[in-house]
Amino acid sequence: MKRQILICGASRGLGLGLVRAFLDADWQVHAVVRELRPASPLEALRSQRANDLQVITCDLNRRDAWCTLAAALQDRRLDCALFNAGVYGPSHQDPRQAESEDIGQLFLANAVAPIRLAQQLAEHVVDGGVMAFMSSQMASLQLALAADMPLYGASKAALNSLLRSWQMQLPQLPWSLLALHPGWVRTDMGGDAAPLSVEQSASALHQVITGQLGRRECAFLDYQGQPLPW
Ligand SMILES: NC(=O)c1ccc[n+]([C@@H]2O[C@H](COP(=O)([O-])OP(=O)(O)OC[C@H]3O[C@@H](n4cnc5c(N)ncnc54)[C@H](OP(=O)(O)O)[C@@H]3O)[C@@H](O)[C@H]2O)c1
């Protein structure tokens, strides 16, 4: 039986790169997108790899998103659930200018929605599997790198905080619980100046994630598997 992964936020950028990386490694992939755009790269991939790629359409911010995903997964058991979807928030990144609704959307998309969904889907993940979240080194309070993007950094710090709280609520970790930093990557969010291609980051993240199978640890790791301070 092929290993199975759920990848949330797979329409473009890193999420799409991760779909390719796991398909190339012969995994069965369940890719979640807000909408499957006609003639998109994911649509083409689905035609080529119909047996190995299921596309699920769902807005991950919805409170009932887990019902859509659970129905699509049926009784399949996941070796990994990867919560990659994220947004940057207002381009000015200034708390004084930000509208309440924008702040709410940012913290919902980057912190609350992924953790909530993971908690609701936890029973689908096998013992010894991996539950991973796309965080950022901007989340690290100790590194304090987020001066140029304080709202985005705070939303990823909130994600890491919720992840650690969840870890503390679990008497024992049935799977690895990971906050991941993908490096600075050339995507719509990362921009053209970023040093890493999507393929480089996704292939390295694939190694980090598969290396965590069976380990049952909670960690904040970069794309090369190096620990980052919380
Ligand atoms: N690029 C970097 O250098 C970098 C560095 C550190 C961390 N990260 C993190 O890595 C992750 C991926 O980043 P990226 O650079 O690939 O970003 P991106 O190019 O902007 O792509 C973001 C992805 O998230 C999806 N998404 C957002 N909100 C969603 C929702 N409510 N429901 C479903 N899908 C949703 C988008 O779908 P749509 O196409 O529907 O909008 C898109 O597929 C993010 O969490 C980001 O914060 C990126």
Of 184, 34, 66, 163, which Cα lies nearest the Cα of 110?
A: 163
Which run of H or of E encompasses 167? helix 150-169
The best mutation among 143, 189, 223 to test binding of ligand 1, ranked by most ligand atoms within 8 Å of the C-beta, falls on 189
pLDDT digits 0-9 by tens, 38-79: 999 999 999 999 999 999 999 999 999 999 999 999 999 999
C-beta 197 within 6 A of ligand 1? no
- Quote the pLDDT of residue 41: 97
Q: Residue 103: which pLDDT band, with cuts at 50, 70 and 90?
A: very high
227 in any annotated domain: no
C-beta 108 within 6 A of ligand 1? no
Give distance in angstroms: CA of 188 to centre of ligand 1: 8
23 in any annotated domain: yes
- Quote the pLDDT of residue 148: 96
Provide the CATH number for the domain around residue 78.
3.40.50.720
- DSSP three-state, residue 121: helix
Beta bridge partners of 33: 57
Give distance in angstroms: CA of 84 to centre of ligand 1: 6
99 in any annotated domain: yes
C-beta 216 within 6 A of ligand 1? no
The span from the CA of 183 to the CA of 205, in Å, is: 10
Mean pLDDT of the chain: 97
217 in any annotated domain: yes
74 in any annotated domain: yes
The span from the CA of 125 to the CA of 214, in Å, is: 12
C-beta 99 within 6 A of ligand 1? no
Domain of residue 126 covers 4-222
230 in any annotated domain: no
76 in any annotated domain: yes
Q: Could you give the number of structural domains in the chain?
A: 1
**Residue of the CA atom closest to atom 6 of ligand 1:** 136
229 in any annotated domain: no
Lookup result for tokens 């999420």: 15
